[in-house]
Amino acid sequence: MKIGAHVSIAGGVDNAVDRQLDVGGNCGQIFTTSPQVWQEPSIDEEEAASFREQTAEKLEGPWLIHSSYLVNLATPKDDLREKSIASMQAELDAAERLGVQYVNVHLGAHTGAGVEGGLDNAAETLDALDVPDGVQILVESDAGSGTKLGGEFEHLAGVLDRSEQDLGVCLDTAHSFSAGYDLSTEDGVEEAVAEFDDVVGLEHLKALHLNDSKHGRGTNKDEHAHVGEGEIGVEGMTAVLSHPELRDLPFVLETPTENGKSFEWNVDRARELQQDA
């Protein structure tokens, strides 16, 4: 089973490998810099080499780099678009240096441009990027609040269809549930996976963010819960983890640290649910 968590790179990006091992993970996700500010990654070659070597020796992989929260691919504003392109290009270049396979990004909000206009903007922004060989951009599903895109599978398919890049998809279970897809039952998961395959194509699904949701289906609220302890619950999480089209994909946890439960608890819980299915 490929499962891990979003871990810190504090003290050097190479420290992320041991942090991943500490929570029982064998793949995972990182930020290369603070996601709250416009700041390019600062990774020296010694750190990058150590990260690559340790990953090859100790983990099954893959790693994902999560882009800055400030990136907005769908924006109609030229200045924000240029900043988003620069930020994404820096992440892609960092991924190449680190040997990281995926850079994960949200589509962002169209802020009045409309869904179709926002999808056009997102594709144009993505097409302005120089994606290195061996690196792929993953567009992440969203909870769909306000004018944010990615809550509907059609949004993901729309960008994949419009863009000239070889894009993949990262499906976040909490986001998709909050956006309205019923992932709380075995039948619901089966129906959602079938719909994703019909609309987007399962061949494009490369990773999952495995998060339960603190809020109900269709609320468009993005707040993560421990695996099996939110509104998706044990049945839904088990169905996701054991689904034949999903079970071999990398699962990355972005669960909270609260109530005495950390990433390690969630990694163990996910493995237990998959094995018991």
Query: Residue 207 — φ and ψ, nearest 5°?
Result: -160, 160
The Cα angle at residue 211 between residues 8 and 182, in degrees rounded to 5 = 160
What pLDDT shows up at residue 211?
A: 98
What pLDDT shows up at residue 98?
A: 98
What pLDDT shows up at residue 158?
A: 98
Q: What is the C-alpha to C-alpha distance for residues 267 and 253, in angstroms, rounded to an integer?
A: 8
The closest alpha carbon to 63, from 106, 94, 108, 41, belongs to: 94
List CB contacts of 193: < 8 A, sequence separation 6 or more: 202, 243, 245, 246
Please give the structure tokens belonging to residue 17: 């490998």
Domain boundaries, the chain: 74-276
117: left (phi over 0), alpha (psi -120 to 50) or beta: alpha
The closest alpha carbon to 71, from 31, 99, 22, belongs to: 31
What pLDDT shows up at residue 277?
A: 84
Length of the chain: 277
For the chain (length 277 residues), average pLDDT per consecutive 10?
97 97 98 94 95 98 97 98 98 98 98 97 98 98 97 98 98 98 98 98 98 98 98 98 98 95 97 94
Classified as helix, coil or strand, 161 is helix
Architecture of domain 74-276: Alpha-Beta Barrel (3.20)
Tell me, yes or no, if the pTM score tops 0.95: yes
**CB-CB neighbours of 222 under 10 Å:** 19
Considering only CA atoms, give the Rg of the chain: 18
76 cis-preceded (ω within 30 degrees of 0): no
